[in-house]
C-alpha cells in the first residue's frame, strides 16, 4: 500500500505541474468570465465552471473553493475534491471507496456505499479513462446508474479460498475483479457485499470487501490490498462533462448556445450534451464569447510547415509561407516548397555575367595599375631609406674607377632567384639567407638577403659597400653590387662552388683528401687577403669574424675570404675601435672579449685558430670533447708546452720530410694566439713567413707530393668541385649550437 500511496502522490504532483504548464502557455488568453476567479489554489477554473454567482453557466458547474486541512484553497464539486479541470471536457475527482467490513465473529462491523452526489446527466463516467473494480475474497459489487434515460447496473465478483490463491498484479476474479465501463453512465452509485453470511472463513486475511472506480493505470493490485485498502479512502477517477442535453444541431439555434467566436460545436461520444473547441489557428476558452484568439503560428516552428521560418507570415486563424527572391512555389514542406525560377535566373545570369566580366576586367586593370604604382613608390621609399641616393652619387663620381659596385633592381634579383624559391637557398646564418642566382648574362652569383639593417648606420653601410666593391684581390670574394629597392638591402657576390675550408678539414669523407701542401697554400692565401685588408685597403678593414667556414675554395683550391657582415672600417690614424663584442666562440680574441677594443690583432688571433685547425683537423670549439680539450686553442698551447705536437697533428699530414715545416707553422700559430694582442705578429708578417715556408717547399723538388691536389690539377685531372655549394656547406656546419655561438655586435649588417 505504501507504493500505491507514493504513486498517488506522484500523480497528484504531476497534475499540478501539468496545470502550471498549461497556465503558463495560455496566460495570454482569458479562461473565466470577467471579474471572476480563474483559479482555486493551483487548479484552473475555466468557464463554464465558476466559484460564485454569475461566474458559472448553471448550478451543475458550481465549484466550491474551500480551504483544506493544510490551509490551501481546494476546489470541490459537491463533496468531491477536484485536482484538475480540462476544457476538453474532463475533470478529475477523488472518489470514496464503497466497502463492507466484518468482525472476527462474522458480525457486520461497517458499511459504506459510494455515489455521485450531483445527480445530473451533465456528468458521465469516462469509459475510456476508468475501470470498475472489486477487491475481496468473498465479494460482489454493483455499479448502478442511468444510461439513455433508463436504469443501469453492472456487477463484478471476486472469490478466493485462501491468501495463497491471490496473484499479485492481476484482477481476474481471484481476490480482485476488474470490468470496463460502458458509455453514457451517469447518476452512478456503488454497492458492495459478501456471499457468506458470516464472512469468517476469509476474515483473517480479508476483513472487508471493496468496490471503486479508478483512473486506468493508477491502481496495481497485490495481496496486501485485502487487509489494508480501507486506509486509502480516496482514489482518482475521471468524469466527462458536456453542456446541456442537446446535440449541436439543436443547441446552435437556441439563445442558450454557449460556443463563442472562432469556435466549433461537436457531439462527444460519451455524454448527452455538446462541447465546444477553438477552430484551427485559434486558442483559448471556446465557451467565452470572444475566448478563442488567433495563434501566431510563425512564433512556434512546430505549429507551421514553412520551409523557412523567416518567410512565415501570420494571418487571422492561419499563416502563409513565401519563397525567396527568384524562386517560385508555396514555401511549404508539405506542398510544392520553393524552386529556383530558372528562366528568370538565366536572364539575370547572362546579364550579370556580361557585367561581371566587364567589371572584372576593369577592376583588374585598375588593381594592377594601383598595385604597380604602390610597388614603385615602395621601392623608391626603400631606395631612399637604404641610402640609394648617396650611393648613386658616390658611384657616379667613380665612373672612371676600374671596378665599382653595381646597383641591381629588385625585379632583376627576383628573376635571378625564381622569386627567392626555397630550392635556391644555399645558406642560412645569423645575418640572413643566401640564395644562388642566375643573372641575365648567365653569371652565377650568391645573393645575400640580410635579416636586419641598422638605419642609423646607413651612411657607414654605403661607405663599406663602396670600399668592398673596389677590393680586387684574388683571395677575397668579390662584392659585385647591391639592391636597395627592398626593405632590407640585398648584397650580390661572386659565386664560389667548391665548399668551405671548414668542410674540407672536418667532413669525414673529405678531411683526409686534402694534403699538407694544399693546406699550407690555403693558409698563405688567406693570410695575404687579411694582410691586404689590414694594410693595403684605405681605410683599413677588420674582418672580425675570421673562421674556417668563411674561407671559400674554388676549383683550384684557391682561398677566398668571405662574409664581411661583421666587418668594421678603422678610421685613419686609429689603431683600435670600441664596439660591442661580436664573433664566433672558439675564434674570438680573448683580449677583445674582455676589453671590447677591436684591433687588427683580433683577426690575427682568429687566423691562428685556423692554422691549428689545418694542423690538427679538429674543430675550434666542440662540446663533444673533454672539458680540458673543449677549446682547441687552449688544448694546442698545452700540447706545445708539453712537447706533444706530433701527437695532436692530423694523421695524414705528417711525414719526416715536412717535420721542420710543421714545427714552424705550429710555432707561428702559437704566436698568433698569444693572449696579449701587441705580442702577436701582424698579418703582413704572418703572410710573409708563410710565403717563405711555401717557397722553401717549392724549391725542395724532392719533397713534391705527387698525390697533391695541385699536382693532380696541373696534370689535367678533372675536379669535382662543382658538386658542392660553398654557402650550403657553410650553413650546415655552423647551425649547431654545440659548435657555434654568435655574440651580439653593433654596426653589422
Rounded CA-CA distance 444/561 in Å is: 18
Rounded CA-CA distance 108/458 in Å is: 124
E strands, 250-405, in order = 263-266, 275-278, 282-284, 292-294, 312-315, 318-321, 327-328, 339-340
* Torsion on CA atoms 299, 304, 306, 307, rounded to nearest 10: 90
Residue with cell 466559484: 51
C-beta separation of 479 from 469 below 8 A: yes
Distances (CA, A) of 235 to 19, 81, 95, 341, 716: 19, 11, 5, 64, 121
Q: Which of 252, 320, 318 is nearest to 282 (CA)?
A: 318
Q: How many CB atoms lie within 10 A of CB 231?
A: 9
Mapping DSSP to helix (H, G, I), strand (E, B) and coil, where does residue 160 land? coil
E strands, 247-309, in order = 263-266, 275-278, 282-284, 292-294
Residue with cell 661607405: 463
Q: Is 451 annotated as a binding residue?
A: no
> What cell does 497 get?
662552388
Q: Which residues of 487-519 are buried (b: 16+ CB within 10 A; e: fewer)?
A: eebbbbbbbbbbbbbbbbbbbeeeeeebbbbbb
C-beta separation of 298 from 285 below 8 A: no
3-state SS of 480-516 is EEEECCCCCCEEEEECCCCCEHHHHHHCCCCCCCCCH
C-beta separation of 143 from 214 below 8 A: no
Q: Which of 560, 557, 559 is nearest to 713 (CA)?
A: 557
Q: Which of 80, 215, 187, 196 is nearest to 140 (CA)?
A: 196
Query: How buried is residue 199: exposed, middle or buried, by Cβ count under 10 Å (0-12/13-18/19+)?
Result: buried
545 is catalytic: yes
Q: Which of 240, 545, 697, 739 is catalytic?
A: 545
- Residue 450 makes CB contacts below 8 A (sequence gap 6+) with 431, 432, 488, 489, 490, 491, 565, 749
Rounded CA-CA distance 674/277 in Å is: 113
The annotated binding site for ATP is made up of: 449
Enzyme catalytic residues: 545
Amino acid at each position: 500500500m505504501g507504493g500505491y500511496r507514493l504513486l498517488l502522490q506522484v500523480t497528484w504532483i504531476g497534475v499540478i505541474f501539468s496545470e502550471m504548464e498549461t497556465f503558463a502557455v495560455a496566460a495570454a488568453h482569458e479562461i473565466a468570465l470577467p471579474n471572476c476567479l480563474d483559479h482555486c489554489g493551483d487548479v484552473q477554473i475555466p468557464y463554464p465552471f465558476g466559484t460564485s454567482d454569475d461566474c458559472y453557466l448553471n448550478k451543475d458547474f458550481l465549484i466550491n473553493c474551500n480551504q483544506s486541512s493544510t490551509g490551501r484553497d481546494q476546489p470541490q464539486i459537491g463533496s468531491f475534491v477536484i485536482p484538475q479541470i480540462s476544457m476538453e471536457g474532463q475533470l478529475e475527482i477523488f472518489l470514496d471507496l464503497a466497502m463492507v467490513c466484518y468482525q472476527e465473529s462474522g458480525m457486520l462491523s461497517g458499511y459504506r456505499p459510494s455515489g455521485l452526489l450531483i445527480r445530473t446527466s451533465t456528468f458521465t463516467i469516462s469509459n475510456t479513462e476508468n475501470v470498475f473494480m472489486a477487491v475481496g475474497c468473498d465479494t460482489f459489487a454493483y455499479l448502478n446508474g442511468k444510461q439513455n434515460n433508463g436504469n443501469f447496473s453492472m456487477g463484478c465478483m471476486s472469490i478466493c479460498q485462501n491468501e495463497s490463491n491471490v496473484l499479485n498484479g492481476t484482477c481476474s476474479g481471484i481476490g480482485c475483479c476488474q470490468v470496463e465501463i460502458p458509455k453514457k453512465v451517469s447518476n452512478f452509485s456503488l454497492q458492495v457485499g459478501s456471499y457468506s453470511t458470516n464472512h469468517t472463513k476469509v476474515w483473517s486475511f480479508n476483513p472487508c470487501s471493496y468496490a471503486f472506480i479508478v483512473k486506468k493505470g493508477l491502481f496495481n493490485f497485490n495481496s496486501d490490498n485485502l487487509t489494508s485498502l480501507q486506509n486509502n479512502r480516496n482514489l482518482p477517477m475521471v468524469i466527462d462533462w458536456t453542456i446541456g442535453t442537446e446535440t449541436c444541431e439543436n443547441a446552435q439555434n437556441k439563445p442558450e448556445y454557449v460556443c463563442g467566436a472562432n469556435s466549433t460545436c461537436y457531439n462527444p461520444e460519451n455524454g448527452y450534451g455538446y462541447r465546444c473547441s477553438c477552430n484551427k489557428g485559434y486558442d483559448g476558452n471556446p465557451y467565452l464569447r470572444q475566448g478563442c484568439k488567433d495563434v501566431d503560428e510563425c512564433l512556434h516552428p512546430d505549429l507551421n510547415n514553412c520551409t523557412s521560418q523567416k518567410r512565415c507570415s501570420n494571418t487571422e486563424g492561419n499563416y502563409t509561407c513565401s519563397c525567396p527572391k527568384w524562386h517560385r512555389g508555396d514555401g511549404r514542406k508539405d506542398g510544392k516548397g520553393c524552386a529556383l525560377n530558372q528562366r528568370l535566373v538565366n536572364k539575370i545570369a547572362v546579364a550579370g555575367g556580361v557585367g561581371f566580366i566587364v567589371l572584372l576586367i576593369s577592376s583588374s586593370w585598375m588593381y594592377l595599375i594601383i598595385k604597380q604604382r604602390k610597388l614603385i613608390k615602395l621601392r623608391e621609399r626603400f631606395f631612399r631609406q637604404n641610402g640609394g641616393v648617396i650611393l648613386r652619387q658616390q658611384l657616379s663620381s667613380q665612373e672612371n674607377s676600374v671596378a665599382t659596385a653595381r646597383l641591381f633592381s629588385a625585379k632583376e634579383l627576383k628573376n635571378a632567384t625564381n622569386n627567392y624559391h626555397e630550392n635556391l637557398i644555399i645558406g642560412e646564418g645569423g645575418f640572413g639567407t643566401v640564395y644562388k642566382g642566375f643573372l641575365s648574362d648567365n653569371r652565377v652569383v650568391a645573393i645575400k638577403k640580410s635579416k636586419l639593417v641598422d638605419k642609423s648606420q646607413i651612411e657607414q653601410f654605403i661607405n663599406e659597400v663602396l670600399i668592398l666593391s673596389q677590393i680586387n684581390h684574388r683571395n677575397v670574394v668579390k662584392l659585385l653590387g647591391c639592391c636597395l629597392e627592398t626593405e632590407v638591402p640585398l648584397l650580390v657576390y661572386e659565386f664560389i662552388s667548391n665548399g668551405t675550408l671548414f668542410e674540407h678539414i672536418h667532413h669525414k669523407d673529405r678531411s683526409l683528401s686534402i694534403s699538407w701542401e694544399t693546406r699550407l697554400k690555403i693558409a698563405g692565401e688567406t693570410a695575404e687577403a687579411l694582410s691586404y685588408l689590414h694594410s693595403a685597403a684605405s681605410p683599413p678593414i677588420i674582418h672580425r669574424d675570421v673562421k674556417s667556414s668563411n674561407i671559400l675554395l674554388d676549383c683550384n683550391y684557391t682561398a677566398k675570404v668571405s662574409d664581411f657582415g661583421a666587418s668594421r672600417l678603422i678610421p685613419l690614424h686609429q689603431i683600435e675601435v670600441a664596439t660591442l663584442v661580436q664573433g664566433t666562440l672558439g675564434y674570438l680574441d680573448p683580449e677583445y672579449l674582455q676589453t671590447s677594443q677591436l684591433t687588427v690583432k683580433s683577426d690575427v688571433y682568429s687566423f691562428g685558430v685556423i692554422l691549428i685547425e689545418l694542423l690538427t683537423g679538429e674543430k675550434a670549439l666542440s662540446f663533444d670533447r673533454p672539458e680540458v680539450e673543449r677549446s682547441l686553442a687552449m688544448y694546442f698551447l698545452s700540447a706545445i708546452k708539453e712537447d706533444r705536437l706530433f701527437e695532436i697533428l692530423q694523421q695524414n699530414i705528417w711525414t719526416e720530410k715536412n717535420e721542420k715545416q710543421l714545427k714552424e707553422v705550429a710555432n707561428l700559430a702559437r704566436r698568433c694566439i698569444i693572449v696579449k694582442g701587441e705580442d702577436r705578429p701582424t698579418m703582413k708578417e704572418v703572410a710573409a713567413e708563410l710565403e717563405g715556408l711555401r717557397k722553401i717547399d717549392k724549391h725542395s723538388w724532392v719533397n713534391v707530393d705527387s698525390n697533391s691536389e695541385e699536382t693532380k690539377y696541373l696534370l689535367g685531372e678533372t675536379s669535382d668541385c662543382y658538386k658542392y655549394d660553398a654557402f650550403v656547406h657553410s650553413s650546415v656546419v655552423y647551425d649547431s649550437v654545440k659548435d657555434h655561438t654568435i655574440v651580439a655586435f653593433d654596426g653589422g649588417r
